[in-house]
Amino acid sequence: MSGLARGAPLETYGRLPNIEDVSLSPSGAYVALVATDGDARTVIVKSTADGKLRALSQAGKVKVRGVTWAGEDNLIIETSSTQLGFGVYGPRAERTVPIRLNLKDREVDALLALMPDGVEAMNTISCRPMVRTIQGRTMVFVCGTYFTNSDSRTGLFRVDMARGHVELVEAGAAGAYDWIIDKDGQVVAEAAYQDRSGVWSLRVKTPANGWRKVEKVLSPNDKPELVGLTADLHSIIVEVQDQAGGRTWRQLAMDTGAWTDSADETAGENVILDGRDGRVIGAYALYGDEPRYTFYGAQDAATWRGVQKAYPGDLVGLVAWSDDHKKLVVRVDSAQYGPAFALVDIAAGSADWLGPEFVGMKAADIARKTSIHYAAADGTEITGYLTLPNGRDPKGLPLIVLAHGGPAVRDEPGFDWEAQALASRGYAVLQPNFRGSGGLSAAFEAAGYGEWGRKMQTDLSDGVRYLAKQGVIDPKRVCIAGGSYGGYAALAGATINHGVYRCAVDYAGVSDLRALVTDFKTRSGEESARYWRRFIGARDDSDPVMATYSPVNRAAEADIPILMIHGRDDTVVPIAHSRKMAEALRRAGKPVEFVELPSEDHWLSRGETRLRMLQAEVAFLEKNNPPN
């Protein structure tokens, strides 16, 4: 260990999670786990009764994003890779390829292999698989790309799991991107969006009337979204923006076409669907630091109360459950021991550990993380988290400000591998939810519009001043780090917000705001460009504000050493951002280190390069801001 480290080796924090995903079969008889060992991933299927192995599929270095059961005998494995899409306009993208694992014969093949004659399509999907049982047969529905003449469109495909046959069940109207399927496997709703005009439309389908358009609204930003079906399966729930800028639900009766407003207080939260029929059965949201689940069925609500009581003081999240909701997989995040997965059997009144999320982690390796709040310079309350290193008096500590990505996401309570790794080396770690962060309130997120490099940036440095005033940290021993938007914040901390930090670490950060908007417009269209211009505060693509607040244009103003780390396969923030920034810093004679990670994406999905990133970050911080 170096400096005043009080934790495990960096390899323990920097490896991929030992368990990345867990899913239960419909009956609850089997559990599927995506497990890792170094860079290698394996899909493991075990009996929940006795733990015996039913199947094992070696994925190697293939990135596995999730697993979904299709009946008791088939598992859909979602993999992804960085690739060009044949016949699809645009640059390389991270595309999801579904693979079927047949548990009876142990065969693995492509889910979309047997396309019908005359249909040209990609073998990639753009939505999670939806499973229905139709007349005793298991069917899987996925959104995919098919070709018509020289154009590409998104359509809805149905795969018969017994025969492997694929059918294009909905060719989709122009701009169609999402569908709702009822319990009988009938497509009952379709959402479409015209990117350039910003017009969102909704079609519904009933046996009596066929397809008919029921809604058409101009929504250049924050377009409506399909949620699911009501409990009686007769109405569609659509999430729309309310007058206050938040999200609310409206219900459409499919038979009459009548709209009603929903009084449900969980609107705008993460919904929980019944996988058998698409009903909305609950919702999840984080209220401050409290994870709150709401279930509409009395039995589900009682079940969840019992699960929470079994793990007092821990953060408990629902991962998967059987069709009858008698068996559940939960993620239990303990402040003392870190996160782990457990299988809960309601009928038996028992719970068994499936394994920790990170192997080799002991209680002594986990530092204390507490909530924090402080006032920004203009009085806005900023919340966040402070992780203090074990074994050190919380006075005059060296500090790392760790800015989250997004920016419209938030840091949350519970285990964070990077913050814990930095704390284990002797640093205090501040993770502020600056204005513009999502998941707190619509008004707080909107307060970040037009504040890139401005108040979103000073919200971070105001936290430094607050901790210095409390005596917790030494204001002369502060560095800033972050990835994606957080990487932008790190670069802005070196080039715009001077006099606060003594070094900066940027992973996959944005250096050129105009390039960011242009890249997203090329990949995702005008809606995406409008989203980013609103956050940046630019009227159009030529607005000078984008040049003013781009770190690449202010490289000569950098006043601290900078480390940049970027994956060559990044399709969210292309590596050109870091290459251009590094060159600009070198031309200006500024101290810069640049590490390129081969075959790595935006999310540090490979074990070898994730660890390399962490080792480079810690070495740079210890050199420029020693913890002792």
Q: 191-198 — which CB contacts under 8 Å span 24+ positions? A: 191/224, 191/225, 191/226, 193/223, 193/527, 195/525, 195/526, 195/527, 196/525, 196/526, 198/223, 198/526, 198/527, 198/530
Q: Are the beta carbons of 156 and 169 closer than 8 angstroms? A: yes
Q: What ranges in 496-606 are assigned the alpha helix state H?
A: 513-524, 526-536, 545-548, 576-587
Band (pLDDT 50/70/90 cuts) for residue 110 is very high
Dihedral (Cα; 326, 328, 333, 334), 10-degree rounding: 40
Band (pLDDT 50/70/90 cuts) for residue 88 is very low
Q: Is 46 helix (H, G, I), strand (E, B) or coil?
A: strand
Instruction: Say what the pLDDT of residue 173 is.
Output: 82
CATH class, 363-512+550-624 region? alpha beta
Question: For 42-52, what is each residue's pLDDT tens digit?
Answer: 999 999 999 99
Question: For 299-357, what is each residue's pLDDT tens digit?
Answer: 999 999 999 999 999 999 999 999 999 999 999 999 999 999 999 999 999 999 999 99
Band (pLDDT 50/70/90 cuts) for residue 1 is very low
pLDDT at 186 over 70: yes
Average pLDDT over residues 131-148: 94
Question: For 258-278, what is each residue's pLDDT tens digit?
Answer: 999 876 777 778 999 999 999
C-alpha span between 464 and 473 (Å, rounded): 8
C-alpha span between 107 and 488 (Å, rounded): 45
pTM of this prediction? 0.95
* Helix (H) / strand (E) containing 95: strand 93-102
Band (pLDDT 50/70/90 cuts) for residue 208 is confident
Q: Which amino acid is at 334?
A: S
| Joined tokens for residue 7 | 């934790």
Going from N- to C-terminal start, the domains of the chain cover 363-512+550-624
Question: For 453-490, what is each residue's pLDDT tens digit?
Answer: 999 999 999 999 999 999 999 999 999 999 999 999 99
Instruction: Say what the pLDDT of residue 263 is.
Output: 67
Determine how many CB atoms are found less than 10 A away from the CB of residue 436: 24
Average pLDDT over residues 543-554: 97
Q: Are the beta carbons of 402 and 428 closer than 8 angstroms? A: no
Q: CA Rg, the chain, in Å?
A: 25
pLDDT at 174 over 80: yes
pLDDT-above-70 percentage for the chain: 97
C-alpha span between 150 and 171 (Å, rounded): 15
C-alpha span between 317 and 334 (Å, rounded): 12
Q: Which residue has the tokens 């093949």?
A: 109
Instruction: Say what the pLDDT of residue 3 is.
Output: 46
Dump strand ranges (E) for 11-90. Answer: 19-24, 30-37, 40-47, 53-60, 63-69, 74-83
Average pLDDT over residues 74-92: 75
Q: Are the beta carbons of 505 and 490 closer than 8 angstroms? A: yes
pLDDT at 106 over 80: yes
Residue 358: half-sphere exposure toward Cβ, Cα within 13 Å: 26
The better pLDDT of the pair 356, 149 is held by 356
Residue 101, Cα to own-chain centre: how many angstroms? 25
Average pLDDT over residues 13-21: 96
Mean pLDDT, all residues of the chain: 94
Question: Among 299-303, 524-528, 592-596, which stretch is predicted with the lowest mean pLDDT?
Answer: 524-528
pLDDT at 447 over 60: yes
The better pLDDT of the pair 523, 87 is held by 523
C-alpha span between 34 and 28 (Å, rounded): 17
Q: Prior bond to 220 cis, omega within 30?
A: no
Band (pLDDT 50/70/90 cuts) for residue 16 is very high
Average pLDDT over residues 537-562: 97
| Joined tokens for residue 492 | 């802005």
Instruction: Say what the pLDDT of residue 86 is.
Output: 47
Determine how many CB atoms are found less than 10 A away from the CB of residue 298: 8
Instruction: Say what the pLDDT of residue 91 is.
Output: 67
Q: 81-86 — which CB contacts under 8 Å span 24+ positions? A: 82/569, 82/571, 82/601, 85/122, 85/124, 85/145, 86/122
pLDDT at 495 over 80: yes
pLDDT at 103 over 60: yes
Residue 165, Cα to own-chain centre: how many angstroms? 32
Average pLDDT over residues 196-218: 93
pLDDT at 242 over 90: no
Instruction: Say what the pLDDT of residue 262 is.
Output: 79
Contacts (Cβ under 8 Å, ≥6 apart) of 574: 91, 519
